[in-house]
């Protein structure tokens, strides 16, 4: 009788632990889905920002390589300052950090769900890598931009977080051809890296959408 009582106690405790773990698993999944929904909105916004910046960089390169860039000095300053504005994308890692730090990944019993979560996480890691390369390319451009633009003019263009066109038609510090060609090269590299990131973001947007659908189906969530 004592053996049966002890065995029953262990069985009840195991059932309780399984119930608690399954409940925690479902709560993690719900939280992760909310993170993904926020990510999809941020991804769409970032793609739009990057697409707009690519057009600005195209306009800047065309203007700087025109016979006389100073004829459209206000545009040269405006496009140049807009080019350096950050378009950093960062995924919402609230839940995935909790899962990793607490060893919670073992709670994800469903293999399809676990695979989808890890695939999305790895895709975000590659975005981080590409944005690091993008930042390095921007850093190389700063010394050239400093030689081209009068910082006193740039200072008049900032209103809070807004970048406005300068008044009048300010001239560039130099229109030296070799400097402009060097800058054009780095602008090209910077733009094309951003275009690669846009392609990756579109791919990860689809992955996020499909992961949301999969998790909702696997865990019977609305």
Mean pLDDT to the nearest integer, 99-114: 77
pLDDT digits (tens, 9 = 90+) for 26-46: 888 999 999 999 999 999 999
DSSP assignment string, 157-220: TEETTEE-PPSS-PPPS---HHHHHHHHHHHHHHHHHHHHHHHHHHHHHHHHHHHHHHHHHHTT
pLDDT higher than 70, residue 206: yes
Counting other chains too, the contacts that 61-69 makes at CB distance below 8 Å and 24 or more residues apart are 61/184, 61/187, 61/188, 64/180, 64/183, 64/184, 65/180, 65/184, 68/175, 69/172, 69/175, 69/180
Residue 101 pLDDT: 75
pLDDT digits (tens, 9 = 90+) for 44-87: 999 999 999 999 999 999 999 999 999 999 999 999 999 999 99
For 65-176, where are the alpha helices, taking DSSP H only?
73-83, 94-101, 111-148, 151-156
pLDDT higher than 50, residue 6: no
Q: How far apart are CA 179 and CA 199, in angstroms?
A: 31
Residue 12 pLDDT: 46
For Cα atoms 85, 187, 57, give the angle at the middle one, nearest 5 degrees: 60
- Band (pLDDT 50/70/90 cuts) for residue 19 is very low
Q: How far apart are CA 40 and CA 76, in angstroms?
A: 34
Q: Which residue has the higher pLDDT, 10 or 212?
A: 212
Torsion of CA 94, 100, 105, 107, to 10 degrees: -80
Residue 89 pLDDT: 96
């Amino acid at each position: 009788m004592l053996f049966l009582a002890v065995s029953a106690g262990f069985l009840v405790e195991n059932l309780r632990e399984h119930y608690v773990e399954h409940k925690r698993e479902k709560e993690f999944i719900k939280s992760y889905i909310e993170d993904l929904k926020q990510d999809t909105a941020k991804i769409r916004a970032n793609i739009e920002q990057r697409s707009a910046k690519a057009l600005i960089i195209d306009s800047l390169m065309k203007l700087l390589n025109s016979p006389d860039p100073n004829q459209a000095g206000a545009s040269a300053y405006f496009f140049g300052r807009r080019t350096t504005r950050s378009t950093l994308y960062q995924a919402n890692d609230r839940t995935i950090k909790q899962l990793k730090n607490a060893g919670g990944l073992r709670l994800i019993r469903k293999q399809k769900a676990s695979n989808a979560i890890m695939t999305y996480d790895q895709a975000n890691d590659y975005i981080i890598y590409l944005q690091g390369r993008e930042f390095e390319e921007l850093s190389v451009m700063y010394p050239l931009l400093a030689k081209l633009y009068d910082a006193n003019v740039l200072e008049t263009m900032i209103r809070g977080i807004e970048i406005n066109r300068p008044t009048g038609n300010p001239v560039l510090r130099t229109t030296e051809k070799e400097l402009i060609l060097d800058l054009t090269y780095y602008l090209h590299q910077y733009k094309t890296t951003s275009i690669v990131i846009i392609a990756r973001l579109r791919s990860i947007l689809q992955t996020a959408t499909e992961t949301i659908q999969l998790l909702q189906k696997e865990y019977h969530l609305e």
